[in-house]
Amino acid sequence: MHFLNFESFAEKDVMLMSMLRIAYIGDSVWELIVRNHLIRKGLNVHHMHSECIRLVNARAQASFLQSVLPLLSETELEFVRRGRNAHARHPTPKNQHPEDYSLATAFEVLIGYLYLTGSAERIEFISGFILGGNDHG
């Protein structure tokens, strides 16, 4: 994934960041990964949009996190734990279950942590596991 080439942060610096800041970038990275995946599938724009919405929402991200938990390192699990406990200053959106929203934030923190530390291979492994044929509909 060539878009992941940038000057990464030291892991110690990422450890000190707010989990919500890390989730903020993780959300964007995940959506870009999904859009890249959908472009490669050759779908029309309407179908790409529908699939993107299906794959980039709290329920889907909560499911994805559950599926990859056994594959994560201790450090990754620590970021997931901290991300799950992070609380935004706004209420959970009306159409989202609070538990899904919390797990989705943890998933975004995981992706954000990996992105910020320059762990492109790890992001590719996790996104490949999730998008490589697993049905999370």
Q: Any residues with CB less than 8 A from the CB of 104 and at least 6 apart, and which?
A: 57, 58, 59, 61, 62, 65, 96
Question: In this predicted structure, what is the pLDDT of residue 93?
Answer: 62
| pLDDT-derived band at 133, boundaries 50, 70, 90 | low
Question: In this predicted structure, what is the pLDDT of residue 4?
Answer: 55
| pLDDT-derived band at 136, boundaries 50, 70, 90 | very low
| pLDDT-derived band at 89, boundaries 50, 70, 90 | low
CA distances from 31 to 51, 55, 74, 89, 108 (A): 11, 8, 25, 23, 10
pTM above 0.75, yes or no: yes
Question: In this predicted structure, what is the pLDDT of residue 134?
Answer: 47
Query: 100 an active-site residue?
Result: no
| pLDDT mean across residues, the chain | 89
Q: Alpha-carbon distance 124 to 19, whole Å?
A: 22
CA 137 from centre of chain = 17
| pLDDT-derived band at 97, boundaries 50, 70, 90 | confident
